Amino acid sequence: MTSSDSQPTDPGGPSIEEIARTATLARLALDQEGLEAARTDLTAILEHVALLSSLDVEGVEPMPRPHDIVNRLADDVPGPVLDRSVILSLAPAVEGDFIAVPKVLGEGGA
Partner 1 sequence: MKMTDSKPDSSNDLLARVDDFKSGRISATERVENALSTIAGLDPTINAFHDLLAEEARSTAKELDATRERGDDLGPLAGSIIAIKDNICMNVGRTTCSSRMLEEYRSPFDATVIERLRAAGAILLGKTNLDEFAMGSSSEHCAWGPVRNPHATDRVPGGSSGGSAAAVAADCVDAALGSDTGGSIRQPAAFCGTVGFKPTYGRVSRHGLVAFGSSLDQIGPLSRSVRDAAAIYEAIAGLDPADSTTSDLEVANCLASGPADPARLRVGIPREHRNDRNHAGVNEVLDHAVDRLRAAGATIVDVDLPLTRQGVSTYYVIAPAEASSNLTRFDGIRYGHRAESVPGEGLEDLYARTRTEGFGDEVRRRILLGTYVLSAGYYDAYYKRALQVRRLIKQEYDSAFEQCDVLLGPTTPTPAFPIGADLDPVSMYLNDVYTVNSNIAGIPALSIPAGLVDEDGEKLPVGVHLQAPAFAEADLLAAAAALESLLAD
In the complex, the residues that contact partner 1 under the rule CB under 8 A are 1-3, 5-9, 14, 18-19, 21-23, 25-30, 38, 41-42, 44-53, 55, 57, 60-67, 69, 71-72, 74, 82, 86-87, 90-93, 99, 101-104, 106
Q: Measured from the CB of residue 85, what is the shortest distance to partner 1 in angstroms?
A: 10
Decide: residue 19, CB within 10 A, 0-12 exposed, 13-18 middle, 19+ buried. buried
**Other Cβ atoms closer than 10 A to 39:** 19
Q: Measured from the CB of residue 32, what is the shortest distance to partner 1 in angstroms?
A: 14
55 in helix, strand or coil? coil
Q: Measured from the CB of residue 86, what is the shortest distance to partner 1 in angstroms?
A: 5
User: What are the phi and psi torsion angles at 99 (to 5°)?
Assistant: -85, 125
Measure the N-to-C terminal CA separation of the chain; round to a whole number of Å: 41
